[in-house]
Amino acid sequence: MAVIRYRGKMPADSNRSATKASLKGERRVALAAFKRDAIITAARQVFAAQGLEGATIRAIAEAAGIAPGTVYLQFDSKEAIYAEMLTASLADLLKSLREAVAHAMPPAERLLAGALAFYRFYQRRPDDLHLGLYLAQGLKPAGLSPVLDRMLNGRLIQCFALLGEAIQASGQASGLSDPEQVRRETVDLVSSICGTLLLQATGRLRMLGDDGEAVIQRQVGHLVERLHTPR
């Protein structure tokens, strides 16, 4: 009887090798994700203490307990880290705004719900307010890079657009149809919310005997009255 010789690995051996390779790949991905999360967590601390300008990859690596080269395997610059943090924050903000306006039916209530959701998001996450406004390095113009700035500004405009849509819906009955007016009203409202957040965060509103949510409610109330004025 002829002997059949099997060349190469037996099927069972091949399956075991494939399984090992798969597990190895999964561990590699999990380790990379763990390191990325550690870098983001450390970067938050460094950015909060030193600002974007003062922070360095070396300082972030030291805070994360890893080598600077490991950071560069995940991010090509400190600006890229900052951008990823901001991107995640803005995604959470957009989700909060969408959920808020989805559960409010009349346009005026939808507008108030969106404005309060914007305020509450940053009130509950003050680090995100500092991150978004670059407050750790002082109140001055700041940016990352033209490409990153365009991407982040696009995400922020998505959030503002939800408020703009609520403003337009609230003013439709009185004939609001001018996109430029909607834009101005949206900018005014966002500016009011951000100013209120800063005064609340620094304790100035409490000193003045007021509350952030009460301020937002009054501002939206005045806005709705203005929007309902016949044109």
Last residue of a domain, one of 41, 76, 111: 76
pLDDT at 5: 59
pLDDT at 136: 44
Predicted TM-score (pTM) of the model is 0.80
Give a yes or no: residue 128 inside a domain. yes
pLDDT at 16: 65
Give a yes or no: residue 207 inside a domain. yes
If asked whether residues 52 and 62 sit together in one domain, one would say yes
Cα separation, 92 vs 89, whole angstroms: 5
pLDDT at 194: 92
If asked whether residues 119 and 179 sit together in one domain, one would say yes
If asked whether residues 143 and 82 sit together in one domain, one would say yes
Give a yes or no: residue 1 inside a domain. no
Give a yes or no: residue 122 inside a domain. yes
If asked whether residues 162 and 209 sit together in one domain, one would say yes
If asked whether residues 72 and 85 sit together in one domain, one would say no
pLDDT at 104: 74
Measure Cα distances from 114 to 28, 119, 135 in Å: 41, 9, 24
Find the domain containing 200 and state its range. 78-231
If asked whether residues 119 and 206 sit together in one domain, one would say yes
> For position 41, which CATH number holds?
1.10.10.60
pLDDT at 139: 44
If asked whether residues 225 and 114 sit together in one domain, one would say yes
- Coil, helix or strand at residue 121: helix
CA trace torsion 6, 12, 16, 22 (10° rounding): 90
Last residue of a domain, one of 35, 51, 76: 76
pLDDT at 225: 92
Give a yes or no: residue 179 inside a domain. yes
Ranges under pLDDT 70 in the chain: 1-25, 134-143, 231
pLDDT at 172: 84
3-state secondary structure 22-45: HHHHHHHHHHHHHHHHHHHHHHHH
pLDDT at 205: 92
Q: How many domains does the chain have?
A: 2
Give a yes or no: residue 58 inside a domain. yes
Give a yes or no: residue 72 inside a domain. yes
pLDDT at 27: 77
If asked whether residues 72 and 127 sit together in one domain, one would say no
> For position 191, which CATH number holds?
1.10.357.10
If asked whether residues 176 and 219 sit together in one domain, one would say yes
Give a yes or no: residue 6 inside a domain. no
pLDDT at 89: 92
Provide the 8-state DSSP code for 231: -
Cα separation, 151 vs 123, whole angstroms: 24
Last residue of a domain, one of 33, 51, 76: 76
The DSSP string of 58-117 is HHHHHHHTS-HHHHHHH-SSHHHHHHHHHHHHHHHHHHHHHHHHHT--SHHHHHHHHHHH
Cβ count near 92 (within 10 Å)? 13
